[in-house]
Structure 1
Amino acid sequence: MSKRLWFQLHGWFSLPIWVLFCFICVTGTISVISHELTWLTNSEARATNPNNLPAMPVDQVIESVESAYPSADVMSVLTYEPYLVNAVIFTDTDKPYAVAYVNQYTGEVQAVNSTISFIEFMRTLHGWLFFPWQEGYSIGYYLVSAMAFVILGALITGLVIYKNFWRAFTQPKLRFNQGRKTFLKDLHTLSGVWSIWFMAIMALTGLWYFVQAFMWHNEIDIEEHAPLVAVSTLPATKQTPPTDLKAALAATKAKYPDFKPSYVMLPEHNRGMFNIMGSGDTIFYDNYAYSTSVNPWTGEIAASKSPETMTGLQTLSHITDPLHYGNIGGLWTKVIWFIFGLILSGMSVTGFMMYTSKLVKNKPEKARQAAPVNNIQEAN
């Protein structure tokens, strides 16, 4: 295949859906630092701790909400970074759905909202463009994850077009005084070369999201469903289960000493269990890599999961998000992912500008080539 055809193919990967691609890149870049932006812009979401107090366990955080709202029915609790509040999801007589922002150091309920947070908004917008989910799939999720093919195609064709690309590492070239076309070409090439590793990560993680969407759509389970309490073990009379959340958390902590809860779901009915998810001492796994289902009637762990017991597909599922969003190393890796997310977004714009300028330039040439033919036809 000639270099010209490779260039046209590279342009095809970059141009036709550049608006959608650029939008997904920008929303993904913002999503990377959505927690930090929330802390910066929303004082109610900040977990201030001037007295350097230890964080309350989740059961005490729930008690804070129940004290403020005695008729509340708490469903689940989400924990984030230490500088953000815990989110307690509950229902009440006048609140069909509410989220309480609880400072885990003071126990204060700092706000109660009935809408999704900025973090959830950005992840949803980036993840599936707010397209609805139906029968296990979302068209938006397919559209977003399919961008992995665009990134991969642009990466491969770009490496074929620009021979000796490694020179951009040792001899970076960015010419400002040789016209707009030369500057855009240098900027696009330099950005692409330095972003090879980032584009490869985005392409590979995006491909997994696409495969995951296909599996969800075809009801292929990656994770096992949370177990239910057997009917035969339930008491004959209505009773309160003897095991509370504090004991369930203690049982999980005993099984996984480095466990930090990230998501806790309380039993919804008498057959439900405490479903507890969190992180451990592994940096490449997400905050839901460790989990237990604790039977509230017996206090026993009915099911558990950790990186050591995961299948291959489960491992992929739990390491993809940290690689895609760059939170494997905390704030420092988030900053790196944010910078290269901006670069990738800018590359889609510069690629579009270069390709369109080439199309505009080719139009007069085609017109001049067609002119003699038109003159002959008019003469005849």
Structure 2
Amino acid sequence: MQQTAMLRTGYRLLTRPLRTPTTNHAARLLYSTAPPPPPAGSKTIPATFQVFNRETKRLQKERAASNTEQSRQVDYVKDEVAFRVVDRLLDIKREFKEVVELGSGCGHIAKHVDTDMMKKLIMCDMSETMLNRDKDVEYEVPVERRIVDEENLPFPENSLECVVSSLSMHWINDLPGAMIQIQRSLKPDGVFIAGLFGGDTLFELRTSLQLAELDREGGISPRISPMADSRDLGSLLSRAGFTLTTVDVDEVTVNYPSAIELMEDLRAMGESNAVINRRGLLKRDTMMAAAAIYKEMYGNPDGTVPATFQILYMIGWKPSPTQNKPLERGTAKHSLKDRLEDEGSASTPKSE
């Protein structure tokens, strides 16, 4: 047992995603979104039906954080994505007095920020145990912890300079409504930066579980929670009232000894399935079949199996009269066509 635990720890340390994306571990796509006009008469978006059981998700996070040692061993994905969210925050040459983090967990973003970026970080999470897991850890930036549900924000309108979130918003039922609340709570020219799991996350596990259930149980059920699509986020940001919006995508791949260890780590992260109409526990026979299918379809030559985490990043600003705005159509003083033709003629070698 001790040897197995050491092997699993070694796999995690050796295969955790690098901060600098590489060809094998990350691919980045960029979408620049032009905001369409908001819905006529109101910013309110019709309420959506409930997909996730928020109380179940809170209890999953509570149980995960109650085992402090095991919980810390599986921080690798959340720490990495938090680093990349902070990297995007660094692109904003501004010092914030306070930054609010939604779905902070134990403090993944707090590990990567300093006093040159902000004077205070307000960590908000619906799980009290997860929020206080590392309460004895000292960070460079002073932190304040608050128990907050991301679906019901307590912040007054026009009160915040910056809101960030890392790997939390994919569990929100009403994502458009949450974005509207965030936009309203920001001051003019305030910024919102978030990273969340995308629809292609764990596609290998999803496919393997579906095939195994179909073979062993004669049907399939939602074992992997549905995630957002990158093509939808830009329009959601714009409908919520954000401007200067940007969405980009990372794919982080982590190798595991088998699908069993992957599912165990997801449970220890508090990232288990929380869909309302999910089935009960996965049968052992089905689980072993899924692990065999996973290895057969996606296994690496060294015997490990890859797990893909698709991360969607979004940035949006609250409108302000002081923001830069694009010039009106037809006001350009130079033609791009003429410029390209000039460069083309300059690069063409002259015949002797």
- Normalized per residue, which structure has more strand? 2
Q: Which has the higher contact order (CA 8 A, sep 6+)?
A: 2
Same fold (TM over 0.5): no
TM range (shorter): under 0.3
**TM-score (ref. length: structure 1):** 0.20
Greater helix content = 1
Higher-Rg structure is 1
TM-score, normalised by the number of residues in structure 2: 0.21
